[in-house]
Structure 1
């Protein structure tokens, strides 16, 4: 399913969180126990298109575009934060009447999940996270290896001009090394460009999540390592950003977690190996 059809089959609706109201896109699919899927940077909920149908056979899926991404609002000059995205998720759960859910996250959203775990640890989360499945992300900020364009986007002087100059070709060029060698990333890059360019390109504003991770490293690492929520890491080992080097520490620090190593997969397991991701998630249900 292409991204335009994905958006057509979802809904944009007002959602209040963090003291403001924004139009947030969400795709719902299936019935059964709740499962919430949260996407990464720089894409959208369309990343889940390849796994949504099989997962929806046994679950009620909730797949939003986070604020600033995809078909959700992109407020101009906004200061984005992981805390705000966690507020969005909580508000969405409240609106949908969800009291417990399985959570599946990737990349940027792994950090959102870590913030939700931190809130849960002090009794500040109304929803019970039944299980958490994490796909490749910078869960240990000191091990994160950002791509050169991400570093450039973080620069307050260069960032805005680089963001404004990004084209479909540059998007494809930047994303290609993050996929496994030999994987045809053309379609994924095109979808990422469509998601990023809708309304206006704001990558220089969204990229501050990298700084967020550094500032809140202790809070988020402790939340992940100490949680009693069952954890499963579904990891593309060829990811140059958060691959084998990241999962090595998971083995050291969270030995009780389940780790599924996808040896021929890069940064995007749900796109590169959808069947393996579905198998990983459903095998434990």
Structure 2
């Protein structure tokens, strides 16, 4: 599903003073999907049909500063606020218990939600992300955007630079149309200028390392990791620790896949998630 069709099938809701884009697809087992940086909920488009077919009611949203949601230019973005907004969306939609699936930036949002109320999360699945701050290896462009020169670099960004950076974390080719949709989603409303502010999540991870690590390692519900080991940011080196710290979890390791399992290996990722989420 292309970006335009994805947006057309969604709606907006105003929560906590911000307008957020969201979609609800299917009926059955409640599932919430949380996307990563710097893209949007559209990353999940390849997986949603399989989850719906398996009997899931899927909630997806664009976090604040991403995609079709509000992008306040001088806002101080934080993982804690993003978790507040997810909870506000749940309240708005009358979602009680739910499974939770998260990728990249979204894994930190999910860890904060687990720290707050693990009993609400019936199952948790994680795709490549910085679950351990000390193992996170941001690419050079991210490090520069997170530095004092970040605001200037963000204003000089264009689709060509964005695509080159994204391809550096992929291990498999993906269609040019998909990368264009990712850029379009990020750049809407000059969203690409927000990268230095959104990248403060790197600092959040360091500050809240023990809280979020504990939330992951002490979560008692069913747990799945769908992982691309060829990811230079959060790949095999993170997977090794996860196997040691959570040997009771289920693992789906996608050989030859990088940072975006849901777009590099959409069928296998969707199959693994559907089987896990429906028990």
TM-score by length of 2: 0.95
1:54-111 CA distances to partner (integer Å, 9 max, x unpaired)?
1112111100000000000001111000000000110111111111111111010011
| Preserved CA contact (<8 Å) 1:36 1:104 | yes
CA–CA distance in structure 1, aligned partners of residues 256 and 23 of structure 2:
29
What residue is the counterpart of 2:145 in the other structure?
153
Alignment check: 8 A CA contact 2:14 2:20 kept = yes
1:160-191 CA deviation, whole Å, 9 max, x = no partner?
1111111000001111111114x135233212
Instruction: Note the aligned Cα RMSD (angstroms).
Output: 1.2
> Per the alignment, in what secondary structure is the counterpart of residue 81 of structure 2?
helix
Shift of residue 15, structure 1, vs aligned partner: 1.2
Give yes or no for the alignment of 1:37 onto 2:33. Answer: yes
How far residue 42 of structure 1 moved from its aligned partner, in angstroms, is 0.6
1:195 matched residue in structure 2: 185
Q: Which has the higher contact order (CA 8 A, sep 6+)?
A: 2
CA contact (8 A) 1:176 1:185 kept: no
Alpha-carbon distance in 2 for matches of 1:195, 1:264: 27
Task: Tell me the equivalent position of 1:162.
Answer: 153
- Ranges of 4+ aligned residues in structure 1 off by more than 2 Å: 184-189
Change (3 A) 1:185 1:171: farther
Contact 1:179 1:185 in 2 (8 A): no
Could you say which residue in structure 1 is the equivalent of 2:235? Answer: 243
Tell me the equivalent position of 1:224. 216
1:8 aligns with 2:8: yes
Q: Are positions 1:76 and 2:73 aligned together?
A: yes
1:109 alignment partner in structure 2: 106
Once the two structures are TM-superposed, the CA of residue 277 in structure 1 deviates from its matched residue by 1.2
Task: Give deviations 1:132-158, integer Å, cap 9, x for gaps.
Answer: 010000001111110001000111x31
Match of 2:189, SS?
coil
Among residues 107, 113, 118, which one is paired with 2:115 in the alignment?
118
Does structure 1 retain, via aligned residues, the 8 Å contact 2:6–2:42?
A: yes
Unpaired stretches in structure 1, ≥5 consecutive residues: 122-126
Instruction: Output the CA distance in 1 between the equivalents of 2:93 and 2:245.
Output: 35
- Alignment correspondent of 2:84: 87
CA contact (8 A) 2:46 2:270 kept: no
Contact 1:69 1:195 in 2 (8 A): yes
Alignment check: 8 A CA contact 1:153 1:204 kept: yes
- Contact kept, 8 Å, 1:131 with 1:231, in 2: the verdict is yes
* Aligned pairs, number: 274
Pair 1:63 & 2:60 matched: yes
Asked whether the 8 Å contact 1:66–1:72 carries over to 2, the reply is yes
SS of the equivalent of 1:179 reads coil
Give yes or no for the alignment of 1:276 onto 2:272.
no
Provide the TM-score with structure 1 as the length reference: 0.93
Counterpart secondary structure, 1:130:
strand
